Amino acid sequence: MSTTFQLDTATSRANPTPAPMKRLTVPKVMQRKKDGTTEEPLVMLTAYTARMAQLLDAHCDILLVGDSLGQVIYGLPSTLPVTLDMMVAHGAAVVRGSYQSLVVIDMPFGSYEASPQQAFASASRIMAETGAAAVKLEGGVAMAETVRFLSQRGIPVMGHVGLTPQAVNALGGYMARGRSEAEEARIVEDGKAVADAGAFAVVVEGVVEDIAITLTRELAVPTIGIGGSAQCDGQVLVAEDMLGMFERTPRFVKRYNDLARIISDTAGEFAAEVRSRSFPGEAQVYKAK
């Protein structure tokens, strides 16, 4: 038995609760791909808060604390301004709110690119202060040495190739990658480089489908697609995109609900009752006796 924190949904408070920890581990994620195929695809969604982690945990194999929180939570124009402090704070909250999913935390822009030593300092802080099991970093051939350095020192690394949002300025935007033969070859080389360097899985984002299929077939570790292919070994989406929290969503997103409308309608109902003084009612006020 391990003591963790579980949200009390009746009070919205976190209380220490003894609970058996049955988290999926990095080796078990890797073992899901046998002889080049994954019978049951891996399910990964982003989570940034303890409550969202609690709701998603039972349905996911992996929870990703993505630097996409910059746009989703903070309203920033890109992931570039996200700080290590932000990732640590949200990562710790997601670990507290989950019991079974493997928690992976994005390393933010500027926290790992300078050197493997810089990356180790950032990654070790993330893991020590959050309790997460792994980190994720963007980049291919250029980051292979860093992936190897971290992996050899006990820090599991998830790779990320193809459309890499932290390189949006160099790429010129968020359009799909791999439309030319040269770029296709480069992305495949990137995927192989980080896998060979020790990455336990590789996110393949925003690429022409053939590239995702090629990487899935040729890498011994699982590929996780986002705008890749249904043939990838798993899939990931930003949870808020999947839930329909935003009016505009990327092409590769399927909106499974319209939470934005539900929230807006509910807030409108509350506002109308407040203005008409029908809330609070008898059931929501305290009497002397």
What is the structure's pLDDT at 2? Answer: 39
CATH number at residue 257: 3.20.20.60
* Lowest-confidence region among 1-10, 64-73, 130-139, 267-276: 1-10
Question: With 70 as the cut, is the pLDDT of residue 20 above it?
Answer: no
Establish if 2 belongs to a structural domain.
no
What is the structure's pLDDT at 151? Answer: 98
**Number of domains into which the chain is organized:** 1
| Average pLDDT of span 201-221 | 98
Question: With 50 as the cut, is the pLDDT of residue 10 above it?
Answer: yes
Neighbours of 88 (CB within 10 A): 21
What is the structure's pLDDT at 173? Answer: 79
Give residue 154's domain range: 26-276
Establish if 42 belongs to a structural domain.
yes
Percent above pLDDT 70 for the chain = 93
What is the structure's pLDDT at 5? Answer: 53
User: By C-alpha distance, which of 62, 25, 42 is closest to 222?
Assistant: 42
Q: Is 22 annotated as a binding residue?
A: no
Q: Is 136 annotated as a binding residue?
A: yes
Q: Is 67 annotated as a binding residue?
A: yes
Question: With 80 as the cut, is the pLDDT of residue 211 above it?
Answer: yes
Establish if 1 belongs to a structural domain.
no
Q: How far is CA 114 from the centre of its chain?
A: 23
Q: How far is CA 285 from the centre of its chain?
A: 41
Question: With 80 as the cut, is the pLDDT of residue 182 above it?
Answer: yes
Q: Which pLDDT band holds residue 250 (cuts at 50, 70, 90)?
A: confident
What is the structure's pLDDT at 279? Answer: 97
Q: Which pLDDT band holds residue 3 (cuts at 50, 70, 90)?
A: very low
Establish if 155 belongs to a structural domain.
yes
For the CA atoms of the chain, what is the radius of gyration?
21
Q: How far is CA 156 from CA 115, 151, 243, 276, in A?
A: 17, 5, 29, 56
Establish if 162 belongs to a structural domain.
yes
- 3-state secondary structure at position 228: coil
Q: In terms of pLDDT, which residue wins out, 174 or 156?
A: 156
User: By C-alpha distance, which of 236, 212, 195 is closest to 42?
Assistant: 236
Question: CA-CA distance, 190 to 179, in Å (whole number)?
Answer: 16
Establish if 145 belongs to a structural domain.
yes
Question: With 90 as the cut, is the pLDDT of residue 139 above it?
Answer: yes
Identify the H or E element spanning 8: strand 2-8
Establish if 198 belongs to a structural domain.
yes
Question: With 60 as the cut, is the pLDDT of residue 159 above it?
Answer: yes
pLDDT tens track for 43-99: 999 999 999 999 999 999 999 999 999 999 999 999 999 999 999 999 999 999 999
Establish if 102 belongs to a structural domain.
yes
Q: Is 233 annotated as a binding residue?
A: no
Neighbours of 81 (CB within 10 A): 14
| Average pLDDT of span 7-20 | 54
Task: Indicate the average pLDDT of the chain.
Answer: 93
Q: In terms of pLDDT, which residue wins out, 22 or 281?
A: 281
Question: Which of the following is catalytic: 113, 145, 183, 205?
Answer: 205
Active site residue 205: yes
